[in-house]
Amino acid sequence: MSSKPRIASEDILAQKWDQTISNFVVKTGIGFSVGIVASALLFKKRTWPIAIATGWGFGVAYADAQKLFHPHYVPGVTIEKQKPSVQ
């Protein structure tokens, strides 16, 4: 028998969703913050740097979510099925 405890698929999916949502919040917030700073310091308080940086953060978070939920789309990654052990 295997000594590792089995994790339910619902728990794995819940962990992935938790990580995805936290990535979206953090990376979009960082993009928004960078956009505000860039707007205030470099672009004479225009709004387009805020939109660009927020969209960039959202896009990075979306790409991370795609890698998390669909790892077989990442170049160089192969998924191998485990063979059941015979005892």
Tens-of-pLDDT digits for all 87 residues of the chain?
567 788 888 888 999 999 999 999 999 999 999 999 999 998 888 889 999 999 999 999 999 999 898 887 777 777 777 777 776
Tokens of 55: 């969209």
Query: Is the CB of residue 28 less than 8 Å from the CB of residue 56?
Result: no
Distance between CA atoms of 84 and 24, rounded to whole angstroms? 37
Instruction: Quote the pTM value.
Output: 0.73
Q: For residues 56-87, b (16+ Cβ closer than 10 Å) or e, as one string?
A: bbeebbeeebeeeeeeeeeeeeeeeeeeeeee
